[in-house]
Chain A
Amino acid sequence: MTLKSFGSVLFFLVVLAALAFLPFYAGEYVVTLMIGMTGYVVLATAWALFSGPTRYISLATVAFFGIGAYTVSVLSETLPYVLVLLAAALVGLVVALVVGLATLRLAGVYFVIFSFGLAELVRQLVTWYEVNITGTLGRYIFLPVTSDGIYWQLLALAAATLLFSWAIGRSRLGLALKVIGDDEVVASHCGINIAGVKLALFSVSAVIITLVGAIQAPRWTYIEPSMVFNPTTSFLTLIMALLGGVDRLWGPLLGAIPLFLLFEWLSANFPNHYPIILGLIFIAIVFVLPNGVLAAAERIFSKRRGVTVPAANQGGAL
């Protein structure tokens, strides 16, 4: 291990430890804020794990998020908490495998539309089931999990997701993903099983997203489909990842933190105009920073030093 990478690891651990101790010196409001923020950091990182390299824009984030939350609401009184989380991950995995097998051959905009449709379909199915079979729309979740506990779980999940994403970037799988993103014909002629790689990544990403939903569920006490399957979650995740930059490890995180704070402030101060402002921000990001802030910052930085940077992949994120 070189000195520089040792330094990075140390820095990562120190920041993680500082964040873990946060509930001991910060107030309840800060912890609540951090739960939301950490949740979105994980969502954006997990989203970029699959969508960054493959350039498949998924709007199915909330489908898995909601599945996680609902699994917890259904099983919370029958199973121990750890098993509930495991069950949620398993349900997410099965749905991801079925959906992935059926749809990953769709390309470009068709996948975007399908993934959006999937989220709506799951929401409608759950609603139909609750109304016609259970006879009630909402469900209560009474779990002895404190908000500190939720925060710690999300923090651990965030660390694990970043670590996983980092490991993939350095592995053969990471190379396979880049090649697929560049040219699928070359990828398969080099011996890469494209469908297999995409399915594996889509599943891992979906399981992480499902866990975010599952971990956050006890916070609400009462949930119903319109809450946990709210498509805004998918759009926010997408825009956060795009703002930070999807082809870099820290990109989604750096996009998620400022945007989450901005959205919190906007929804508190401009509740009526919130969706309009959201839309405008979305358009601005895609136009001004198509490759994310990290890529833009690198370009400006190296221009100052007089180094020419290859302007490849302009607008490649979409």
Chain B
Amino acid sequence: MTEILTLSGISKRFGGLTAVSDLTFSLKAGEVVGLLGPNGSGKTTVMNMISGFFAPSQGTIALKGEAIQGLPSHRIAPKGVARTFQLVRALPSLTVAQNVETALAFGRHKLWGRIARERALHHLEEVGLAGRAEERACDITYIDQKRMELARALATEPDLLLLDEWLAGLNPTELQTGISLIRSLERQGMTILLVEHVMDAIRALCSRCVVMNAGRKIADGATDEVLRDPDVVRAYLGDDHA
């Protein structure tokens, strides 16, 4: 299998604070990988560097072999990277459908008009928002905004999808729906990197996990093994449990 994403020795410093330090890992095409770690371990910073929100202070990020570190988000997105945000970011003055059409209009294929409309409706149906196209994005519930945000990401037909705690805050039923949704994306061959705290979801979805603590990688391997790793247990629960 070919590598979609390769991070080599990336670091991010904010003034004196080192949020991410010398991180190296890669994703193969079609993999669903969990990026884990306690709060403040630098997971979202990693997502932000991949999507171009921040430039890494050091190191390289390669997407399908092409260096993308330091490029602005609007140049990385059309190369096939889409994401959702830890705190949902809806476009409140637009309708649900327009939120998705935005991704189509400026994404890889620059779709506009009727085709964009049809595609948007298709992706809304995919995430369970059929028939909600004309509602305003600011009026729908938090969970529906999360679905809409996912539809917006999917509309770009990404090679790499970054999900930042997309399953957080869902009730058990919604969680099951969410998990099967991500599974169906996996079946379509999408490569997914997800930051998540919901352990059930991680076990169900991720074949592999990368674990970070205080900005460094402390484990990388098959999910079961990684979750038993003494270093990982220590990072989450403290020395007594290791």
Contact = CB atoms under 8 A, between A and B. Distances in A.
A310 interface: yes
Contact of A190 (B53, B106, B138): B106
A291 to B, nearest CB: 11
B92 A182 contact: yes
B91 interface: yes
A189 B105 contact: no
Given A182-B94, A190-B152, A172 B112 contact: yes
B112 A191 contact: no
A187 B152 CA distance: 11
A188 B91 CA distance: 13
Nearest to A196: B74
A312 B138 contact: yes
B77 interface: yes
Contacts of B74: 187-194
Contacts of A189: 51-53, 73-74, 77, 82-83
Contacts of B73: 185, 188-189
Contact of B91 (A172, A183, A191, A193): A183
Given A312-B136, A313-B92, A190 B102 contact: yes
B89 interface: yes
Contact of A312 (B92, B101, B103): B92
Chain A interface residue bracket vs B: 20 to 34
A185 B88 CA distance: 12
A261 interface: no
Contact of A185 (B89, B94, B139): B89
Nearest to B111: A172
B103 A190 contact: yes
B34 interface: no
Interface stretch (A29-37, A43-51, A173-181): A173-181
B89 A186 contact: yes
B85 to A, nearest CB: 8
B98 interface: yes
A192 B91 contact: no
Contacts of A179: 91, 94, 102
Chain B interface residue bracket vs A: 20 to 34
A135 B94 CA distance: 55
Interface string B49-93: 001110000000000000000001110011000110100010111
B37 interface: no
B104 to A, nearest CB: 9
Nearest to B162: A189
A175 B98 contact: yes
Interface string B6-45: 0000000000000000000000000000000000000000
Given A188-B74, A191-B78, A312 B102 contact: no
B107 interface: yes
A194 B52 CA distance: 14
Contacts of B77: 188-191
Contacts of A193: 74
Interface in A299-318: 310, 312-313, 316
A227 to B, nearest CB: 39
Contacts of A312: 92-93, 136, 138
B93 A182 contact: yes
Contacts of B108: 191
Contacts of A187: 74, 102
Interface in B88-137: 89, 91-94, 98, 101-103, 105-108, 110, 112, 136
B24 to A, nearest CB: 25
Given A185-B73, A191-B156, 5 more contacts: A175-B102, A175-B105, A188-B72, A191-B108, A312-B138
13 contacts: A172-B105, A175-B98, A175-B102, A182-B92, A185-B73, A186-B89, A188-B52, A189-B51, A190-B106, A190-B156, A191-B74, A191-B107, A192-B102
Interface of A: 172, 175-176, 178-179, 181-183, 185-194, 310, 312-313, 316
